[in-house]
Structure 1
Amino acid sequence: MGTTQLESVPEPKYWHLKTVLSDALDQDFAVGEILPNERELAARFGVARATLRQALEQLELEGRLQRRRGVGTTVAPPRVGVAVDSTQHGWPGEGSDGWEAVDASETVPAAAVLKLLGTAPDQPVHTVRRTRVTGGQAVAAELLYVPAASVPGLSAIDAPAGPARARAVLRELQRLTLDGQDRSVELGSARADDAKELDRLPGAPVLLVTTRYFTTEGTAAVSVATYRADTCRLTFGDSGVEITETRAAS
C-alpha cells in the first residue's frame, strides 16, 4: 500500500483513509492475508492511530475486514450471492441451499406469523431452526414455521428431537407440490437468541427476510430468516431482488 496526502481532503480523514485502504484490499491483498499492525499502517499513511482505527472499524462494519484475537486484522472472504427472486427457489432444504438444520420443536408462533400461516393459536406448528454458514461463520439464522397439517406423515417416533427432527420436517414438507412463494425484506433488530447465534449484540441491525410457501391448499410454511446487516447487501436486477452476503466481520 502506498502513502497518500490527507491534509487537503475536505471529508474526514478517516473516511478518505477508509477509501484508500479499501482500494488497497482489492489490489494488494489476498483473502485471509493479515494486514500490517496499526503502528506501521499509521506511519505509512501519516495519520494518528485513532484515525486509522476509525477507518478499520468502518471497513469491519462493511464486511471488508475480520478482526480475530490472537491473529490480527485479516482480509475477509469474498461475497456469496443469495437470490431472493421466487422463481429461483424451491422448498427449504432442497438440494444444497447453504442452510444447516439445528433443531425442531412444536411452538406457538407470534401473532404475526400465525396470521401469515392462517392458523389458530391452538393448532400445532413445527418450528425448525436453521443457520447459514459462510467461511465457517454463521451469517444468518432462520425460523421455519410448518403447521402440522402441512406434514401429516411426520412421525414423532422416527426423529423425536434435534437436527434429525428438523431434517424430518423438511423432508415431509418437500413431498408437497410447491405452487408459489412470496418474500419481503425489512430492517430489524437482532433478538437475544439470534444475536448469540450470529455473534452480534442484542439489538444489532439485521435484515429480516420473510418467505411464505404456497400449495394449492394455501400457505404451507413461513420462513423468517435473520441476516447480519454487516454481511449482506440488497441488489436489484432483472430477476428481482437479491441478497448478497458480504465478507463476514467477526
Structure 2
Amino acid sequence: MGTAQLAAVPEPKYWHLRTVLLRAITSEFATGEVIPNERELAARFGVARATLRQALDQLELEGRLVRRRGIGTLVAAPRVGVPVSRRDEGWPGGNREQVWQTVGCTVAPAGERLAGALGVPAGETVHSVRRIRVAQGQIVATEALHVADSALPALPEIRLSGAGEEAAEGAADGEEQGRAVLRRLERLTVDGESRAVELGVAEADEAALLQRPPGTPVLVVTTQYAAAGRLAALAVSTYRADTCRLTFGETGLVEVTPVPAAVRSAS
C-alpha cells in the first residue's frame, strides 16, 4: 500500500471559540457564577451568535456550563468523584445495595449477544436488574445487572404482575424481583472480577433514568463477576460523563486531582 500525505484539517471556528471561552471562564468566573449573555460574549470575541451558541452548547455537553431558565448560563460545579472499586461497591449482592438503588427487574430469554457475554446458550432465561446510583442529590449512573438463571440454582419463583394490575404495583413487584436476585447472589462467593471502561452515549432508556437527553456522553463500566468456577453476573454501569469522574484506587492513599482546563490546553 502506498503512502500519502494527509492534508491538515482546519479547526472548526466554534471549537476554537470553545477553547478560548473555556480559558476565559476558568480564569474569570467561580463555580455557580453567571457568565455574560450571548450578545455580550459575541461582541467581546467578535463572532456570530450562531458560532457562539455552538461553542456554548459544546461546553454544556462537557459539563463545564449549565443553563438555568430565568437565570442564565452558570459555571458548573466540578465533577463528582465516584469510587468504583470493589471495596467501595462490593459484590452485586449484599452491601452493594447501599450504593445502588434497585428500581426494577425483567426476566427474559437471552439474545445471542447477551448470551455470549454471559457464556450461556441463547434463549436461556436471564434476570436483568435495573438500578440507579445517586451522589450529592442527583442521579449519576444507571446499571443493568444481568444474571443467568443457571447461575442462581433454586431461585424462588417470583410472582409477576398481571396485565390488569396498577402500574405502581407492577413497579413495586419489579423492585422486589431485583432484590430477590440480589439476595441469591449474596450467597455466592466471588472468585474474581474484571472491569473495562469506555466512552459512549446514553441510549433512550438510560437517558430517561439519568434525566438527560439521548446522546449525552457517558462512561460505561462493564464488570464481570466469577463465582463457583463460572461467570456469575455481568454489570453494565453507565455514568454521566459530564458530572462524574471515576476513581478506581483500592487503598484510598492517593487523591487524583483533576487537571485545570487551562493547563490541559497548554500541554
Which deviates the most, 225-234 or 30-39?
225-234
- 2:204 aligns with 192
- 2:54 aligns with 54
CA distance in 2, matches of 1:225, 1:87: 16
Aligned-pair RMSD on alpha carbons?
3.8
Cα deviation 1:90-140 (Å, max 9, x = unaligned): 213635764322101212233222123222345432110112345554443
Which deviates the most, 190-199 or 228-237?
228-237
5+ long unaligned stretches in structure 2: 1-9, 160-170, 252-256, 259-267
Confirm whether residue 175 of structure 1 aligns to residue 187 of structure 2.
Answer: yes
Confirm whether residue 166 of structure 1 aligns to residue 141 of structure 2.
Answer: no
Cα deviation 1:19-43 (Å, max 9, x = unaligned): 3432344344343333232223333
What amino acid is aligned across from residue 81 of structure 2 in structure 1?
G
Larger radius of gyration: 2
CA distance in 2, matches of 1:26, 1:233: 19
Any residues of structure 2 matched to 1:86-235 within 5 Å, and which? 90-92=90-92, 94-95=95-96, 98-134=99-135, 136-151=137-152, 152=154, 154=156, 156=158, 161-188=173-200, 190-198=202-210, 199-201=212-214, 206-228=218-240, 230-231=242-243
Q: Is the 8 A contact 1:113 1:222 kept in 2?
A: no
Offset of residue 72 of structure 1: 2.5
Offset of residue 215 of structure 1: 1.1
Confirm whether residue 33 of structure 1 aligns to residue 33 of structure 2.
Answer: yes
Q: Is the 8 A contact 1:106 1:125 kept in 2?
A: yes
SS at match of 1:176: coil
- 1:6 aligns with none
Which deviates the most, 211-220 or 31-40?
31-40
Change (3 A) 1:188 1:43: closer
Structure showing the higher helix proportion among its residues: 2
Offset of residue 76 of structure 1: 2.0
Q: Is the 8 A contact 1:105 1:161 kept in 2?
A: no
Offset of residue 231 of structure 1: 4.9
Change (3 A) 1:137 1:68: farther
Which deviates the most, 189-198 or 169-178?
189-198
CA distance in 2, matches of 1:74, 1:164: 41
Q: TM (normalized to structure 2)?
A: 0.67
Offset of residue 182 of structure 1: 1.1
CA distance in 2, matches of 1:180, 1:233: 24
Q: Is the 8 A contact 1:206 1:226 kept in 2?
A: yes
